[in-house]
């Protein structure tokens, strides 16, 4: 069953229930009104008869001198019933089948009155619906009035047929309207489905639905467009990463292949040149290893792997300073580390801090100092190198970007990109500042651990 069919059936069912309920309620109300009219007429007739009977009892003369009929109303037939069920007097002849036990109880004084329906089968085999009303009239007697309900029943039968026809038409109309409403409501869903299928078929993430409006379906379409845009950007970044990584890997691999081919041919023959060649091989291998490690870090998922724990940022900074100091013995490191606790993943935070220190040390002239401070869930790394030009400042966190002056220095161009990724994954940020007296200052801000 399709979703459109389910919506159509649900809409039709809802309207059908409402129409049938309204029709049934109308039938009950009309029936009640018609029956009440008959009951009211018999009750008023009985009340007049009781008043006339009481007046006759107080004066001289026979009991029924007050009227030539039992009911006193030519349109309402009646009969006088005793407690034993005997009909003492009747209009148009006695009708014994309508003398029920309830009527006898009224005659004997056990009930104040009785109103009910009695069904009598005539000699013609037809079942007659009779409405009866009985009230006490004198001692040990009851006045029973009755009315044939054939006209009322015929009216109700016609009304029932009309209501059934109206209900059936209402259900059919509800089904048609439900179909039209479902088609109109699900039109945006159909367009969305078509767009999804087209994207799945062509793998073209540039397609957009371009829905307008403020309803739920419009929001869904805009969310889908946003998802497609994010996927398109992610795919573009992945392709760019592969292209950039291939370019960066080609240089050390080409150098390694060339040097190894020279060694395979037994060249160079000079021991000193041969030693330089071997040193270049080791340097290229280190560069390749660093590049592969950076690529692995950069390709990790945006979500941080567990465990996320409370970390002492000052202790991580101290460990990173000791590690980088060994690689750059000509650079002095000045640390001012205050105790700070953050929430994060230790290896990732350590890598980001190390990359900042490594970048600062790489650009620091021999004998200069790198200043490191930790305070308020933030680590600041300042170098006194050549600094970063305004046109280069916007690209320092881009993947594989390297300043023209850094082409000859070791590195992959991924270090600061990894710092940015770690900062954003931890809910923090990293910014670059350009001090007036030269050099560069990086601020890595992370989330403090709750107290």
pLDDT value of residue 33: 94
pLDDT value of residue 67: 55
User: Could you tell me the CA-to-CA distances from 389 to 258, 273, 451 in Å, in that order?
Assistant: 36, 38, 41
Q: Which of 155, 173, 202 is the last residue of a domain?
A: 155
Stretches in the chain below the pLDDT threshold 50:
61-66, 302, 304
Give the helix/strand (H/E) hosting 119. strand 114-121
For residue 54, is it within any domain?
Answer: yes
For residue 67, is it within any domain?
Answer: yes
CA distance 165 to 50: 46
Closest CA to 50 of 145, 136, 131: 136
* Sequence-distant (≥ 6) Cβ neighbours of residue 230 within 8 angstroms: none
Give the helix/strand (H/E) hosting 59. none
pLDDT value of residue 12: 81
Q: Which of 264, 298, 332 is the last residue of a domain?
A: 298
CA distance 192 to 211: 9
Measure the CA dihedral 53/56/57/59, to 10°.
160
pLDDT value of residue 247: 65
CA distance 6 to 143: 61
Q: Are 211 and 222 a contacting pair, CB within 8 Å?
A: yes
Q: Which of 103, 122, 155 is the last residue of a domain?
A: 155
Quote the radius of gyration of the chain (alpha carbons, Å).
51
Per-residue model confidence as pLDDT tens digits over 399-427:
766 665 555 555 556 778 888 988 988 88
How is 341-357 classified by DSSP, letter by letter? EEEE-HHHHHHHHHHHH
CATH number assigned to the domain comprising residue 23? 3.30.450.20
Residues 356 and 402 in one domain: yes
């Amino acid at each position: 069953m399709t979703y459109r069919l389910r919506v159509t059936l649900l809409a039709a069912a809802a309207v059908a229930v409402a129409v049938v309920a309204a029709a049934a309620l109308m039938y009950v109300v009309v029936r009640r009104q018609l029956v009440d009219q008959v009951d009211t007429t018999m009750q008023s007739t009985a009340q007049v008869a009781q008043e006339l009977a009481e007046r006759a009892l107080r004066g001289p003369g026979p009991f029924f001198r007050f009227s030539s009929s039992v009911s006193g109303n030519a349109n309402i037939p009646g009969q006088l019933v005793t407690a034993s069920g005997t009909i003492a007097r009747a209009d148009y002849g006695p009708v014994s089948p309508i003398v029920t036990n309830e009527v006898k109880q009224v005659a004997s004084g056990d009930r104040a009155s009785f109103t009910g329906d009695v069904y009598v089968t005539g000699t013609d085999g037809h079942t007659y619906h009779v409405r009866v009303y009985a009230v006490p009239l004198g001692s040990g007697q009851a006045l029973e009035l009755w009315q044939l309900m054939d006209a009322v029943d015929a009216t109700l039968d016609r009304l029932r047929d009309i209501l059934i026809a109206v209900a059936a038409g209402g259900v059919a109309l509800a089904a048609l309207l439900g179909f039209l409403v479902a088609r109109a409501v699900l039109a945006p869903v159909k367009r969305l489905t078509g767009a999804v299928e087209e994207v799945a078929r062509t793998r073209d993430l540039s397609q957009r639905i371009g829905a307008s409006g403020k309803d739920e379906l419009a929001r869904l379409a805009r969310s889908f467009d946003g998802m497609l845009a994010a996927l398109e950007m992610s795919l573009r970044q992945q392709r760019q990463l592969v292209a950039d990584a291939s370019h960066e890997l080609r240089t050390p691999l080409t150098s390694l292949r060339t040097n190894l081919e020279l060694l395979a041919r037994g060249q160079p023959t000079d021991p000193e040149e041969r030693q330089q060649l071997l040193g270049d091989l080791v340097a290229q291998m280190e560069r390749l290893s660093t590049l592969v490690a950076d690529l692995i870090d950069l390709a990790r998922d945006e979500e941080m792997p567990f465990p996320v724990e409370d970390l002492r940022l000052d202790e991580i900074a101290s460990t990173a300073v000791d590690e980088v100091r060994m690689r750059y013995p000509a650079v002095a490191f000045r640390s001012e580390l205050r105790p700070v606790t953050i929430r994060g993943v230790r290896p990732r935070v350590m890598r980001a801090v190390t990359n900042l220190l490594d970048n600062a040390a790489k650009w620091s002239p021999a004998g200069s100092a790198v200043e490191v401070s930790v305070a308020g869930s933030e680590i600041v790394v300042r170098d006194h190198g050549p600094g970063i030009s305004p046109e280069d400042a916007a690209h320092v966190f881009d993947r594989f970007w390297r300043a023209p002056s850094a082409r000859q220095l070791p590195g992959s161009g991924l270090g600061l990109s990894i710092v940015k990724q770690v900062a954003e994954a931890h809910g923090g940020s990293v910014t670059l500042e350009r001090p007036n007296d030269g050099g560069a200052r990086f601020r890595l801000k992370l989330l403090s651990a709750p107290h």
